[in-house]
Structure 1
Amino acid sequence: MHRETHQATSRETSRETDRATDLPANLPEKLYLLAYDPRRGRMTGSQSLNLLLQAAALTELLRRGLIREEGRTAVARVREPAASAGLDPYSARLLGRIQEKRPHSWGWWIGGARTAGRDQPARWVRDGLAEAGWIELHRRRVAGVFPVTRIAPGDPRVRAALAGAVTAALKSPLSRVDPADAALVALVAAGRLRSALDPKGRSRYRGRIEKLAPAAGPVPRALGRALVARAVGRALEGAGEAAVV
């Protein structure tokens, strides 16, 4: 009896361990979870998160061979069920859009990410993670009027494991770094995701990041340019409003 109880407990512990080490497969999902700051208990990088997730979806499609680069533009290939199986909802949606449109530059696709409303990448990725049980959504209304959604990790160990993967990719021998983790770090750095890698870390590991960047193809560089363009646009808009006042 004692032996059976012990075996049952061991099996349960094993399942919990497997779940703890199990991680989302897609880059947008990983980056969304890394954007959650456990110390503050909230999401960070709200100004640039949609562009970062758009870049992550492009990188995921590129890594799977579902899109390719032709003359610095993103071109969709014929959908391959084996390669597209397991895509997160937003990456699958973006693939459909790329298939429908003529070729555009990586920067065009990144800059075209919606930043408000239901069609923004952050909303798609968030809802997909919630449906899969990776996060929990707690909705309420401020002053009984304005809807607010608070995000909480389903299992904090998952986010911690992703943060550990970033650290390992920066410190482990280059030959041991998984290409998916290399692409993840390249996007974290290009997107300036402080909750995963602060400015000091980006500076300290600049050389390593440059060596990891090829795993994400041309997307990180295009993301960096898109973020600069977005910042300049906001600055000009603010200056214009000040001049009117």
Structure 2
Amino acid sequence: MTVPGNLPQCSYLLAYHPDKGRVGFSTELGAMLRAAALADLYLKGHLADERGRAVSSSARPSGDPVLDGLLEEIAGARPRKWQHWIGKRQRPTVSAVRQQLADGGWARCEPYKMLGLFPATRVTMRDPRVRKELVSRVNGALRGAAGRVDPADAALVTIVAAGELNLVLDRRSRRAHKRRIQELSELTGPIGPALHKSIQAASASAAG
């Protein structure tokens, strides 16, 4: 059993409901995957924080098409807040990450028409143990010493908590581990707060 090597793919698998066989419609999947890509680039030294804005700090590519696409977006624009980049191109990012999971053998993707009219993709996880391993890593990060937690696992906790992914961490768990989640969020720089703000802004816009 192998686990995907980048954070967007891991985040997608965590958002997948194994019993329902899909990602929940209320899940902020696009925002979470964009935040995961930013976190991946930040942790690997491709991005830096400059007065609350994302800036390219390395010209070398990451080797991952999704991450490099985002890196090119940021490098080709003036410095913008992290929240800005989370809100951009969410749908193409979801499609690209889903295709990566299919190409890597973690998922099977089948096109179909919802209600017989609207094009959609049915996603089936090939090995449930992969997602169970990722959930275990999230839970382990909440229990272990903060200084010994893998930064990627800290980022997953941050994304799951900020994205309010109840499937992995429900409200009661987030409340019980509030201080610990904050400690892990600090390891991933500006990503957690930016994801939280992006989701709040999107909700306010939809309500308005």
* TM-score range for the pair, normalised by the shorter chain length: over 0.9
Deviation at 1:133, TM superposition (A): 1.0
1:77 and 2:57 matched = yes
SS in 2 for 1:65: coil
| Percentage of pairs with the same residue | 40
The TM-score with structure 1 as length reference comes to 0.80
- Structure with more relative contact order (C-alpha pairs < 8 Å, separation 6 or more): 2
1:149-205 alpha-carbon deviations (Å, 9 max, x no partner): 111112111011001101111122334321110111011101111222111111111
Q: How does 1:1-245 map to 2 (within 5 A)?
A: 20=1, 22-44=2-24, 46-81=26-61, 84-85=62-63, 87=64, 89-115=65-91, 120-142=92-114, 144-236=116-208
Structure 1 gap segments, 5+ residues each: 1-19, 237-245
Change (3 A) 1:143 1:166: closer
Change (3 A) 1:142 1:230: closer
Q: Helix, strand or coil for the counterpart of 1:58? A: helix
Higher helix share: 1
Would the alpha carbon gap of residues 221 and 102 (structure 1) be closer, same or farther in structure 2, given more than 3 Å must change? same
Unaligned residue ranges in structure 2 (runs of 5+):
none
For 2:114 and 2:206, the matched residues in 1 are separated by 28
Q: In the aligned structure 2, how far is the partner of 1:225 from the partner of 1:145?
A: 34
- Is this contact kept in 1: 2:34–2:90, CA < 8 A? no
Residue range with higher mean Cα deviation, 32-41 or 174-183:
174-183
Within 2, Cα distance between the matches of 1:92 and 1:45? 28
The Cα offsets for residues 116-165 of structure 1, whole Å up to 9 and x where unpaired, read as: xxxx2111110111111111112223454432311111211101100110
Query: May I ask how many residue pairs the two structures share in their alignment?
Result: 208
SS at match of 2:90: coil
The structure with the largest alpha-carbon Rg is 1
Q: Which runs of 4+ in 1 moved over 3 A?
A: 142-145
